[in-house]
Structure 1
């Protein structure tokens, strides 16, 4: 699954299903050969209809590219939020996210703990 396809699937579904789709993408990404992973991130996903998720996809692209030793795709640079977003908005989740959010997410205003990105 590419990030473009993930973005398409995130349109008009509830939050629970969105996280399941993210988990599925991460699982497929993990099994892809490192040398071919970049092609899954390079093309810019269309808007999902939710700015939070549009920015999340940009952060995810940069985060995964960095883990594989490369820069994020150029399209991801322009996406960020004006207000912080905590996708998992409980007191404990917020504390964990404030302390441990990966840089690609933090600089865009998306606060998500790394464990939420390792669901697969």
Structure 2
């Protein structure tokens, strides 16, 4: 799969072949020093109104100090997970790795 470099914001793109178990996605970016949050969604297709299912929603809440994790199935949000420290700070470069597993997503912040 070809990397996507300097995409427009917001960016909506397709993962060729899907995001199947054993695959890994790397997202690199820069957290705005004046922004309060940014989101990364792994969505089943491109519809945003109404929104298609989201297998993984990561919402980096810079102003609130945590990362929310959730999903949408059948138009309904699941139970938000938000425990743990915020590994990304405003004005900081970041790299987030997401690994697709058979039953879950594994998320890691490297930089």
- Output the TM-score relative to the length of structure 1: 0.34
Indicate the structure with greater helix content: 1
Indicate the structure with greater strand content: 2
Max Rg structure: 2
- Output the TM-score relative to the length of structure 2: 0.36
